[in-house]
């Protein structure tokens, strides 16, 4: 099975990181490939960043289908371009946020999302009414480390443990969901950190890992998005793309 | 007062139409100007169309603020780029859909939206959870005439009356909202048509007209969007825009 | 344009205050007139107060239409008599609460209302399910100064700034809405006070001002409430009114 | 136990009818008394009717408490004055609508209300968001017989059976609730009529009967409304009442 | 009237306690009888406990109907077996939770439930979406005393007062509901304790007492659950029961 | 990987069928085993059937964990015993309904469930408020063929196509979900049947197949239910199990 990960960024370093992160959870017979954007922002931290990323994201997804991919993942919790791309292709196109929130809802009473910056929280809350899972969200919290500084893993893990523990103790979270795919691969360490604080009964969901598993599952049983919800766009004149 | 209308299209004919439609409801001391896109689609009928329209929409809104405009209206019920642009400017940026739905909720028990194509309905329903007004929507209906063929006004009015009457009689609508700004200026004729069918008690809301009034009102009393919800994007490297 | 403001009170001093407050936001061609009640309470602070105010409120609104008014505003956030009066007249009848909450929802993620007394809060929460905007309410707070002592503007402004800052910092409010029309004209001072505390990104909505703008907008484009929602009452015997 | 029924009407004939209807379900040790209004409308069919009824309704409830009553019922599904009166007295004050809808929710999956006139339906839907039971409402239907003509019992029963059967078959109702206390005493006949049509598994709730049982139950165990929700109104000048 | 209380436990001491508690609120002409389980757990504190209690609970309810009972109450706030038993019998079968929550909603703005253990809270929250009353719940709190140690009444009352006061002051509760029928008979003491803390305006609901009143009311007016919601199970082979 | 399927039935024929159905979607390295109940009903068609099935279901799940299974699936859309069993074990325990509904929500705008009997519909609707996905349900429909007669595959497929087409055309479904695991393996035929009717854009979800994929995915990345939501039951005396 061939899965293409679209990284909605022009930052070269993200390419190898993305390949590593998404390969972690993949089955041995799953081949992960990664594509950066040619045009767009260095990272997605605002609605404006999404706006200038989406045309090329959709372009790369169309390309992925042409390349014979079985499924596509857009590597960003804001899921930019996922819905538009579904109009253009037939293969499954998923972001990491919806699968993580749906699975969190299946595993426990309430979940909290630990995202990067406070300023992302209103954008993040859009997922609630969109998915119907508002009531299942115990809280949204942020580690408040900018995306481009998240390389300091120790600092990031410490902040994730701290916010996760507060989500459990103060907000009533029973499941933790990472709010950024830049946190991929850290679930085990965060789980261990929580256990050291006496919180040993809370699953920690790594949306990047999970996205791969959901993509594999959909391909295995031949499911994709409904073209009744995402019909092909009518033909028309277009300038600049 | 100066209001700039952004028409999210590259179709030249829409420029004069837009100027005429948005001038209809403007006060004598309100100056309307209209801008088309340089890059983007001929019309917005899909999520993909939105995707390739938004970068230039936001660019044109930034330009409008630089030009000294007091407010901006994006001429499309899908409101593409409105949220992203609010991060980039301080002047009010509004689309026609939210004001129309909020005012409809104030004027009667339930409203129905009569949009262009059935395929737009799932996209349109996004406004429900986003605004909180799902319960106030009696139904969404479509005239099923493509945007680029809506020039046949007689056919359009007839279809609007027919669908509006069905919304009132079958779906329990107490207020009618046009679902496309291409229907601007037709409210009186539709109202008359409904009266001929014995439905004389139902307001018909023209979102383009109303958007101008809401823009004027916000400017008059110095209100704009919350920069806490729409903070300026962090500075970063961007390629292609 | 002629707009009549009904002050649901028998307190003479409110007449000049009301005229001043509602004239603040009016256009130069809008003529505001103000009417007190002949029968009713000194102020509206309870459901009982509403009960004994509503018959005369509706009477004054019927009179306003007969006097050739273009629209009526009921000067109270509880909006007593607005729905009943809409059955009796065709001109727009609005209260200040619904427009303020709907506009707040359009301008930011969540809003908080700062009202007068804690005891008004349950009454105020009725607006949530009624308008559909419960999810948009970050919190309801009170300055806890009785209506009849609100003349001490300095104390009132200080309390408004204090509660507004707490609403932003603790409750996640992105927009502030005044919860009493007796606070009209203070938005600028409250905004300044918030800025001094480092909160410079939050709009402050003055419902009295906004009500005038919404009334003007509705009259401009010929919209009023749906008589399908508010049909004329059937003729019948009535004693005492 | 002494229960006072307030009939929100000046129509003399309703006095004996009310006494009979509310005595039907009362225990042998419950003493029902009935009071008409001195001022107000002949019947409640509009918001305006409610408006001019409420001052005297509240007055009669205050009087009932002074007369040593144990509980008060306001004989109208719109429950006019119930909330205001709760501020003025400590004894239970209930309307028939909320108990009927809450009990219907306990007895089956979804309920339908069969009310008098189509024009009452928007007013009736207010009970949904107010009580939280919107999802439990399968539908609202009307027999479309004016209140003052409901004396023709045969016609009324026939229409009730017809609408109830449609509610069950078309709207998915599992419980029927009468939407007017003028239908009191007809539940058995309607149930029989439904059985003749093969619908033998649907409870029919008579809100007047049930209101008496709920009043008795509350008095028995010493429960009344929360004065934290319904605090006594502050003292103030009042003219005309 | 004959009401059978099913105690979902094999613990002998609960029999006399149950009889006493449920007799407290019963009318003089109501005869309460109590049945323990033959098979099942010592108490209900988990979903697993419910699972192994339900077959015998339903068996005892079928027996109660055969014994000529008029109604059945299942003595547990989790209401195990209530819905299944309604398929097997025609007489009213009620648990104490739904009536308490519905009546609390009728008496005040928001209610809090004070239950036994924190671990029961997620199970308890199921009642919110099931009844539609989620918005009416101010909070769920626990005294954190195990069911089998609740015999220490003094400790229990003290903890109930403490948690109830916090529910009122911090969570905005206007009505208190006991979250376990093992708290039956303590409402007066808790009310007194709250008054000593200056909280004199909050009703305290004892679900066991209330369940008896609701059962009596339903039997009085001939209402039971809808067999359309709870049809008789189809005949089939069963092993072991 | 070893997955145990618990068939909540005593009917011997279901064993081979279950093994076949659940093996369809399993990976080559996944070993499916199947267990029937020793005690319980021939099939699950009512709440009563669930009641007498759950003790043995939970017992079989505890046994599965002891046998070294990696995950357990309960083969019934009502998911009997899933929540109770999660208290007793640490391995993932899933039913087929929640995964199917969550995935349907991810793939399209609205889904319809085609279940077996009309009488199951109210039981099925419980999944809506429980999962938060009520708004995503376009409709619930039934083929009205009893579980024990579903062996006639031709009749079943025909009825599934018919109801699915109606769900799409009349109820606005964009995704179809089978409402019984006895329909496993028929998705392709139903999809083909829909295409013959011109409905070629609607995914058809087979919950049995999907449950296996979700179990595999959870095991792959080491996720299971939250023990904070499902803590181990306290030790206590139990009779009969």
- Give the pairing of strands F238-239 and E40-41: antiparallel
* Closest to E177 in 3D by CA, of E110, E107, E104, E117: E104
Task: State residue C128's pLDDT score.
Answer: 82
Closest alpha carbon within chain F to A176:
F226
Distant-in-sequence, close-in-space partners of B1: CB < 8 Å, separation ≥ 6: B27, B29, B30, B31, B70, B71, B216, B219, B220
Is 80 exceeded by the pLDDT of residue C226? yes
Mean of all residue pLDDT scores within chain C: 95
State yes or no: pLDDT of C146 exceeds 80: no
Confidence of residue E124 (pLDDT cuts 50, 70, 90): confident
D55 to each of C78, D58, D239, how far by Cα in Å? 17, 5, 12
Mean pLDDT, rounded, of chain D? 95
Q: What is the CA radius of gyration of chain F?
A: 17
Asked whether the predicted pLDDT for residue D148 surpasses 90, the reply is no
Per-residue pLDDT tens for B52-62?
Answer: 999 999 999 99
Q: What is the mean pLDDT of residues A224-236?
A: 95
Q: What value does the mean pLDDT take over residues D84-113?
A: 97
Enumerate the residues of chain D whose CB falls inside 8 A of the CB of residue E106: 94, 98-99, 102
Cite the residue boundaries of each domain of chain F with CATH code 3.40.50.12500. 97-208
Which residues of chain B neighbour A54 with C-beta distances below 8 Å? Answer: 51, 54
* pLDDT higher than threshold 90 for residue C197: yes
Which residue of chain F is at minimal alpha-carbon distance from B135?
A: F135
Cβ–Cβ < 8 Å for F107, A224: yes
pLDDT for C4-39, tens place per residue? 999 999 999 999 999 999 998 899 999 999 999 999
Name the band, by pLDDT with cuts 50, 70 and 90, for residue B146. Answer: confident
Instruction: Read off the pLDDT of residues B163-213 as tens digits, 9 standing for 90 and up.
Output: 999 999 999 999 999 999 999 999 999 999 999 999 999 999 999 999 999
Measured distance between the N- and C-terminal CA atoms of chain E, rounded to whole angstroms: 30
ipTM for the whole predicted complex goes beyond 0.90 = yes
If you average pLDDT over residues F153-159, what whole number do you get? 96
Backbone angles phi, psi at B148, to 5 degrees: -75, -5
| pLDDT > 90? residue B12 | yes
Q: Where does chain E hold its CATH 3.40.50.12500 domain(s)?
A: 97-207
pLDDT over 80 at A187, yes or no: yes
| pLDDT bucket at F189, cuts 50 / 70 / 90 | very high
Which of A126-140, B114-128, E223-237 has the highest mean predicted lDDT (pLDDT)?
E223-237
pLDDT of A137 > 90? The answer is: yes
pLDDT value, residue E239: 94
The pLDDT value given to residue B126: 83
Give the pLDDT of residue E87: 97
Q: Residue B148 — pLDDT band, cuts 50, 70, 90?
A: confident
Smallest CA–CA distance, residue B199 to chain D, in Å, is 15
**All chains having 3 or more CB pairs closer than 8 angstroms to chain E:** A, C, D, F
**What residues of F are in contact with residue E116 (Cβ under 8 Å)?**
none
**Chains A and C, touching by 3 or more CB pairs within 8 angstroms:** yes
What's CA B89's distance to the chain center, in Å?
20
For D93-113, what is the mean pLDDT?
97
Residues of chain F with CATH 3.40.50.1860: 2-95+210-220
Give the distance from residue B126's alpha carbon to the nearest chain A alpha carbon, in angstroms. Answer: 7
Q: Which residues of F touch A (CB under 8 A)?
A: 25, 27, 94, 98-99, 102-103, 105-109, 131-136, 168, 174-175, 200-203, 205-206, 209-210, 213-214, 216-218, 220-221, 223-231
Residue with tokens 């279809």: B159
What value does the mean pLDDT take over residues D218-232? 96
So what CATH class is A97-206?
Answer: alpha beta
Where are the CATH 3.40.50.12500 domain residues in chain A?
97-206
Q: Where are the alpha helices (DSSP H) in chain A?
A: 13-24, 47-66, 82-88, 97-107, 121-125, 127-131, 153-171, 187-196, 207-220
pLDDT band for position D68 (cuts 50, 70, 90): very high
Pick the residue of C95, C135, C236, C241 with the most D CBs within 10 A to test the interface with D by mutation.
C236
Q: Could you tell me which chain E residue has the CA closest to the CA of A108? A: E122
Q: How many B×F Cβ pairs under 8 Å? A: 5
CATH 3.40.50.1860 fits E2-95+210-220, yes or no: yes
The pLDDT value given to residue E85: 98
Q: Residue A177: what pLDDT?
A: 98
Q: What is the pLDDT of residue E126?
A: 83
Which of E38, E54, E237 minimises the CB distance to F42? E237
Q: What is the mean pLDDT of chain F?
A: 95
DSSP structure class, residue F45: -
pLDDT exceeding 90 applies to what percent of chain F?
Answer: 87
> Tens of pLDDT along B66-121?
999 999 999 999 999 999 999 999 999 999 999 999 999 999 999 999 999 888 88
Mean pLDDT of B29-40: 97
* pLDDT at position B149: 81
Contact E135 C122 (CB under 8 A): no
User: Which residues touch B213 (CB under 8 Å, ≥6 apart)?
Assistant: B25, C216, C217, C220, C221
C112: confidence class by pLDDT, cuts 50, 70, 90: very high
The answer to whether A88 contacts B54, with C-beta atoms less than 8 Å apart, is no
pLDDT of residue E82: 98
- Whole-number pLDDT of residue E55: 98
pLDDT for the residue A128: 82
Give per-residue pLDDT as tens, B220-240: 999 999 999 999 999 999 999
Q: Please report which confidence band the pLDDT of residue F237 belongs to, taking 50, 70 and 90 as the band edges.
A: very high
D107:E224 CB<8 A:
yes
Q: How far apart (Å, rounded) are the C-alpha atoms in residues A79 and A211?
A: 12
Whether the predicted pLDDT of F211 surpasses 80: yes
What is the pLDDT averaged over residues F120-125?
84
pLDDT tops 90 at residue C148: no
Q: What is the dihedral of CA C140, C146, C149, C150, to 10 degrees?
A: 10
Instruction: Decide if pLDDT at F120 tops 90.
Output: no
Please give the average per-residue pLDDT across A36-45, as a whole number: 95
What number is the average pLDDT over the span E67-95? 97
| Per-residue pLDDT band at D25 (split at 50, 70, 90) | confident
What CATH code would you report for F97-208? 3.40.50.12500
pLDDT score of D132: 82
* Average pLDDT for chain E: 95
Nearest alpha-carbon partner for A27 in A191, A213, A152: A213
The CATH class that applies to domain C97-207 reads alpha beta
Q: With beta carbons less than 8 A apart as the criterion, state whether D11 and D43 touch.
A: yes
pLDDT at D123: 81
Percent over 70 (pLDDT), chain C: 100
Confidence of residue E196 (pLDDT cuts 50, 70, 90): very high
Q: What is the CA radius of gyration of chain A?
A: 17
Model confidence at E140, in pLDDT bands (50, 70, 90)?
very high
pLDDT at E149: 81
Q: Which residue of D has its CA nearest to C81?
A: D51
- C interface residues, A as partner, C-beta within 8 Å: 109, 135, 174
| For range F9-15, the mean pLDDT | 94
Q: How confident is the model at residue F135 (pLDDT cuts 50, 70, 90)?
A: confident
* F115, β-bridge pairs: F142
Whole-angstrom distance, CA of residue F74 vs CA of residue D98: 40
């Amino acid at each position: 099975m061939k899965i293409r990960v679209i990284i909605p960024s022009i930052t070269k370093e993200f390419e190898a990181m993305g390949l590593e992160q998404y390969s972690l959870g993949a089955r041995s017979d799953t081949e992960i490939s990664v594509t950066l954007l040619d045009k767009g922002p260095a990272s997605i931290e605002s609605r404006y960043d999404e706006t200038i990323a989406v045309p090329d994201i959709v372009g790369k997804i169309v390309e992925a289908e042409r390349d014979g991919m079985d499924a596509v993942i857009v590597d960003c919790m804001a899921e930019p371009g996922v819905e538009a791309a579904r109009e253009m292709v037939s293969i499954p196109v998923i972001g990491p946020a919806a699968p993580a929130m749906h699975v969190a809802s299946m595993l426990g009473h309430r979940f909290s999302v630990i995202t990067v910056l406070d300023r992302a929280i209103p954008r993040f809350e859009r997922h609630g009414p969109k998915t119907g899972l508002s009531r299942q969200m115990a809280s949204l919290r942020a580690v408040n480390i900018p995306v481009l500084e998240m390389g300091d893993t120790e600092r990031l893990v410490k902040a994730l443990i701290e916010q996760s523990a507060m989500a459990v103790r103060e907000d009533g979270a029973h499941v933790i969901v990472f709010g950024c795919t830049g946190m991929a691969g850290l679930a085990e360490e965060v789980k261990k950190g929580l256990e050291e604080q006496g919180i040993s009964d809370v699953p920690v969901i790594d949306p990047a890992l999970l996205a791969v598993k959901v993509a594999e599952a959909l391909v295995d049983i031949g499911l994709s998005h409904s073209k009744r919800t995402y019909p092909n766009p009518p033909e028309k004149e277009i300038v600049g793309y």
